[in-house]
């Protein structure tokens, strides 16, 4: 049983299952509650970072905040993946870092395309609710074929982004379609948004199965963290897609 989200894989769940019975167990409601807490933390730091980014006097500081929070969030995400037992501490810290990153990034996009942030936030939660409804009604199911296809697609996307990032250190320009607003650029963004959206189905499935198997209580924090990773990725890709569409006008 695998998820396209690397934070929700069978290794993590198998390790948690091995110590079942030592205390309280994971529940879906508990995971939802903790996801809500992480969302509040993210929103709080995002608003603070936004206020820094829109203030000309703090422009330099905002740039530093974005870079530091990006790398800090990456380190925390990796640590949480390897040590899910730490998630009750690392998950809120990760949410705080991602809030700082998204706050500054969103302010930059809003400056160029007024109203784009509200649209991106609305679409992100709209997609999440649509995926949740599709999953709960059985219309969208986490089939083995879907898991395999999404894992391949996500692996390709991650490798592509990594190559682009490393090439950037050597002043190599990224492919034009990555940030371009042409048909190919928009098609690429639509594809990535679609992959991120469908990843939510697998995340819902893994969390439901984890709760059904009575995993350790800390897995609620880990499940909430995993959902936050997907939602942050989805929001950023929707923001990129909307900016491409707006730049065509």
Instruction: Give the residue extent of every domain in the chain.
Output: 10-247
Nearest to 234 by CA among 127, 131, 160, 158: 127
Q: From first to last of the 249 residues of the chain, give the pLDDT tens digit.
A: 444 455 555 556 666 664 545 568 899 999 999 999 999 999 999 999 999 898 877 778 888 999 999 999 999 999 999 999 999 999 999 999 999 999 999 999 999 999 999 999 999 999 999 999 999 998 988 888 998 999 999 999 999 998 998 888 888 888 887 888 889 999 999 999 999 999 999 899 989 988 988 889 999 999 999 999 999 999 999 999 999 999 876
């Amino acid at each position: 049983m695998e998820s396209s989200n690397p934070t929700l894989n069978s290794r993590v769940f198998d390790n948690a299952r091995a110590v079942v019975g030592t205390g309280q167990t994971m529940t879906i409601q508990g995971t939802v509650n903790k996801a809500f807490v992480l969302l509040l933390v993210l929103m709080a730091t995002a608003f603070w970072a936004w206020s820094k980014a829109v203030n000309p006097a703090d422009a330099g500081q905002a740039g530093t905040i974005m870079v530091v929070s990006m790398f800090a969030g990456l380190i925390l995400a990796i640590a949480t993946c390897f040590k899910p037992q730490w998630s009750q501490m690392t998950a809120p810290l990760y949410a705080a870092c991602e809030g700082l990153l998204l706050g500054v990034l969103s302010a930059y996009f809003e400056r160029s395309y007024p109203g784009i942030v509200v649209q991106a936030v609305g679409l992100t939660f709209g997609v999440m609710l649509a995926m949740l409804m599709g999953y709960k009604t059985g219309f969208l199911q986490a089939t083995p074929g879907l898991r395999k296809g999404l894992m391949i697609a996500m692996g390709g996307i991650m490798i592509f982004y990594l190559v682009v990032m490393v090439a950037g250190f050597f002043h190599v320009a990224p492919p034009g379609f990555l940030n371009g607003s042409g048909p190919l650029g928009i098609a690429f963004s639509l594809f990535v948004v679609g992959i991120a959206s469908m990843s939510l189905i697998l995340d819902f499935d893994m969390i439901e199965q984890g709760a059904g198997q009575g995993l350790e209580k800390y897995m609620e924090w880990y499940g909430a963290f995993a959902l936050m990773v997907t939602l942050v990725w989805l929001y950023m890709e929707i923001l990129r897609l909307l900016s491409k569409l707006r730049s065509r006008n």
